[in-house]
């Protein structure tokens, strides 16, 4: 009996040494606030979260090359198109639990990955140089019209956010119309595309352009003062505007997560996703990153509310974000063909 007990104890501790109570997160989100959430998850569940942070291309290359030997359990990134393309490489398993399905609207998830937060890519303009008639009822589609000649600034075509925006236009308007739109849009650039979204807002504030497209959280970050007084003052000189309010709504993208097909800790990975979708976690995310919540009945950050970026705008709920990956490659072709650098 004692011998059996010794064998049992040996097997128990041996098994636990191999199958640690952990989850390995590969993420391209560089937020200290995310790490705080992982620590909270560990304190509640006892599941240790190991974080491998890096750029998407490097993380994806590593996971693909390591194959079954990969330690990755959960991949978190900030673009629906990127999630969709990674899924097409047969890297994700079906991880949409009943809890996830009940909390995340269908158009913000696929069969194998889900959004954990939303992002709006909107218009910012200079009031003194853009008339009320020009901005009234403005749609993304209108930015190719001649009245915007030499007035628009935007980041480069290699920005995945821009690729997803153009992919959504293809999804809604078709290839032919979108190709014409891209030509007109590029023809209206005030300068060659360069730098990040904050740089585009700075360009409008300084008078280098009249209008730009950028993600709302960059604007909020500038307004918060975290990027210095100069950027805070610049943000105050531009006005946010949500396009396409009279039809499908403003283009939305997501931060999202998927469980790897080769995951050794898939149950823990799903538990972590479910934790990120709790009310407390969602409030933590939006109050630190200035993104929008993915679950209902969450008030936006006070800074977002006070800067007219609150939840009370019409979001594009008609275009499934999983479609971005279908059209991203074609979107980039159109952009490059039109001279969008």
Q: Which of 316, 331, 332, 272 is nearest to 139 (CA)?
A: 316
Render each residue's pLDDT in the chain as its tens digit; 341 residues.
445 444 444 444 444 434 579 999 999 999 999 999 999 999 999 999 999 999 999 999 999 999 999 999 999 999 999 999 999 999 999 999 999 999 999 999 999 999 999 999 999 999 999 999 999 999 999 999 999 999 999 999 999 999 999 999 999 999 999 999 999 999 999 999 999 999 999 999 999 999 999 999 999 999 999 999 999 999 999 999 999 999 999 999 999 999 999 999 999 999 999 999 999 999 999 999 999 999 999 988 888 888 878 778 999 999 999 999 999 999 999 999 999 99
Residue 214, burial from CB neighbour count under 10 angstroms (0-12, 13-18, 19+): buried
Beta-carbon contacts of residue 105 (< 8 Å; ≥ 6 apart):
294, 317
So what's the architecture of 119-251+316-337 in CATH?
A: 3-Layer(aba) Sandwich (3.40)
Q: What's the pTM?
A: 0.91
- For 123, 169, 206, 301, the CA distances from 126, given in Å and listed in that order, are 10, 25, 9, 24
Class of CATH domain 2-118+254-302: alpha beta
Every domain range in the chain assigned CATH 3.40.190.10:
2-118+254-302, 119-251+316-337
């Amino acid at each position: 009996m004692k011998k059996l007990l010794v064998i049992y104890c040996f097997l128990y501790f041996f098994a636990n040494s191999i199958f640690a109570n952990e989850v390995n997160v590969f993420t391209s989100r560089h937020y200290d606030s995310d790490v705080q959430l992982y620590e909270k998850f560990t304190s509640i569940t006892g599941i240790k979260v190991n974080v491998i942070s890096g750029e998407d291309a490097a993380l994806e290359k590593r996971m693909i090359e390591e194959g079954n030997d990969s330690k990755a359990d959960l991949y978190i990134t900030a673009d629906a198109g990127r999630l969709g393309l990674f899924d097409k490489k047969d890297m994700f398993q079906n991880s949409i639990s009943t809890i996830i399905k009940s909390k995340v609207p269908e158009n913000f998830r696929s069969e194998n990955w889900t959004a954990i937060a939303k992002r709006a890519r909107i218009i910012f303009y200079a009031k003194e140089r853009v008339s009320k008639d020009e901005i009234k009822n403005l749609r993304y589609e209108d930015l190719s019209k001649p009245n915007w000649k030499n007035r628009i600034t935007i980041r480069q075509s290699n920005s995945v956010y821009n690729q997803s925006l153009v992919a959504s236009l293809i999804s809604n308007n078709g290839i032919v119309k979108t190709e014409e739109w891209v030509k007109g849009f590029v023809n209206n650039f005030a300068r060659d595309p360069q730098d990040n979204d904050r740089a585009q807002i700075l360009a409008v504030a300084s008078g280098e352009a009249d209008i730009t497209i950028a993600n709302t959280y960059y604007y909020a970050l500038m307004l918060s003062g975290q990027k210095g007084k100069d950027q805070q003052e610049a943000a105050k000189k531009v006005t946010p505007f949500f396009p396409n309010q009279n039809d499908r709504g403003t283009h939305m993208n997501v931060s999202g997560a998927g469980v790897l097909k080769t995951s050794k800790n898939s149950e823990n990975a799903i538990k972590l996703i479910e934790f990120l979708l709790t009310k407390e976690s969602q409030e933590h995310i939006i109050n630190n990153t200035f993104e929008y919540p993915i679950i209902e009945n969450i008030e936006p950050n006070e800074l977002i509310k006070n800067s007219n970026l609150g939840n009370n705008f019409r979001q594009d709920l008609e275009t499934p974000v999983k479609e971005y990956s279908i059209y991203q490659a074609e979107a980039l072709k159109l952009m490059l063909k039109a001279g969008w650098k």
